[in-house]
Every structure is written in C-alpha cells, then in structure tokens.
Structure 1
Amino acid sequence: MRTSGLIHAELISALVALRHTDTFAVSDSGLPVPAGVRVIDLGISYGLPRFLPVVELILDEVTVEAAWGSADVATANPEAVDLLTNRLDAELIDHEEFKRRIGDCRFVVRTGEAKPYANVLLRAGVPWLR
C-alpha cells in the first residue's frame, strides 16, 4: 500500500503505462472529451478536487517533456496560467485546437475544477538515467 502521493489505483495504472511521446490531459469539470478517449473521473462534487493539486501530484509521478494549454486561460484563470506558463512552460494554443488534440490522448484525468480553462495537455518524457 502506498504511503504518499497519489493513491488512486486507476490513475497510477494509467501513468505507469505511459510511454515516450504519449499524451494525456488533466481537465476541469467541463472539458468535452471525445468518445473513445478514456476518462479517469476524480470529480466528487462541483469544485472538488481542484485542478492545481491534482496536476502537482501527477507531476510528482511522471516525466513531462512538453505541455499545452488554452490561450484563453491567460485572461480567464490566473491560477492555472501561473502553473502552465511558469512551472510547465506550456505553449498556449487556440482553445478549439486544444480541444481537437484531446482526441489523441491516451486518457483524460477529469477533476471537479469549477474555474474556466483549467486544462493541460501533457506529453510524457523519459527519465533518462545518468
């Protein structure tokens, strides 16, 4: 039994199965996910769990080599834009393009986040040993 970090078995399993260049997303409660894309639903109520703590826990578990967010986050959600631009150096792209790319994801982790544009698309990297 794990003693720290993520304890959601389905999420841990999905993260462990990632391979180099696989993409996955962490989303707010409202992001449309195309049929056929696996959704790991963490939402327990509107607003819980929040987007930022979920992303932080995931970043402790996986190597990320690239990230993208919706350009609309810059004016709509200062908390999320800080994570995207400062911690992840995410490229901010048109929201319609962002939603289109969700269709290529291995899975989407849906939070209960109630603030707009709290979404990030992540590409798995490799934790090369030195």
Structure 2
Amino acid sequence: MKKTGILNQNISEVIASIGHYHKLVICDAGFPIPPHVKRIDLSLVPGLPAFMDVLRTVLIELCIEEVIIAEETEQQSPHRLEEMKSVLLGVNPSFVPHTEFKELSKSAIACIRSGEVTPYSNIILVSGVNY
C-alpha cells in the first residue's frame, strides 16, 4: 500500500503517465465529459468531494505550467475563481469562453469529476516539467 501522496489508483496512474503539455481536467458534477476521454468519477453526493479538495490534492503531485478556466466563472462564481487562483502557485490562468473550454477538454488525458455543484467549477491543468 502507498504510504504518501494520492491513494486513488486512477488519479495516481494518470499523473505518473502525463507528459509535457498534456491536459488534465478537474470538473464539477455537471460537466459534459467527452465520451472518449478517460473519466475518473469521484462524485459521491452533491458537494462531495469538493472541487477545491480535488484540485489542491492533484496540485501536490502534478507539475503545471498553464491553467485554463472558463470566462463565465468570474461572473457566475467569483468566489470559486478566487479560490482557484489562490492555489495556483504563481501560474496565471488563461480564460476562454465555456464553449471553447468544452472543446479543449476533448484533448485531455483525463477528466476527474468531483461532486461539486458550484457553477463553473472546472479547470484545465496543462502539465509542465519539474526541471
């Protein structure tokens, strides 16, 4: 059994295999995950697990160099946007319309679905390198 880090086998496997510039989506319970993208569904009941808990946990292990967020987040869920920015460790997000965000998700390695029900609680993490 693993002693530290992410215990979820599917998430751990995706992070270990992700390459430079690959995309990983963390999304809310209502996000339309493209059928061909690996789906890691963590949702239990509305609100669990929380989007921010999943994001914080993934950021412990994943090196990121770019972040993409839907423009609508600022208007619909400004508090969520501020929470996301607070954990991004100096990476400034890019903003795209939600329709474009959904298109970009089609090229993701995986989508991790939280139980979050706060609108626009979605983020695309673009992997970097740690050297």
Tell me the TM-score normalised to structure 1 length.
0.92
1:60 partner SS: helix
Residue 115 in 1 paired to residue 118 in 2?
A: yes
Partner of 1:67: 67
> Is contact 2:71-2:97 (8 Å) kept?
yes
Letter in 1 for 2:60: D
Question: Which runs of 5 or more structure 1 residues have no equivalent in the other structure?
Answer: none
RMSD: 1.3
Q: Shift in Å at residue 114 of structure 1?
A: 0.8
What amino acid is the match of 2:38? Answer: R
Displacement after TM superposition at 1:46 (Å): 1.4
| Equivalent residues of 1:20, 1:125 under 8 A apart | yes
**Aligned-partner Cα distance in 2 for 1:59–1:83:** 13
Query: Equivalents in 2 of 1:61, 1:79: separation in Å?
Result: 25
Distance 2:24 2:52 in 1: 16
Q: How many residues align?
A: 128
| Identity across matched positions, percent | 27
TM-score, normalisation: structure 2: 0.92
The DSSP-based 3-state class of the residue aligned with 2:84 is helix
Distance 1:66 1:75 in 2: 22
Q: What's 1:12 paired with? A: 12
Matched, 1:90 2:93: yes
Q: What does residue 48 of structure 2 align with?
A: 48
Question: Unpaired segments of 5 or more residues in structure 2?
Answer: none
How many Å separate the matches in 2 of 1:78 and 1:20?
A: 30
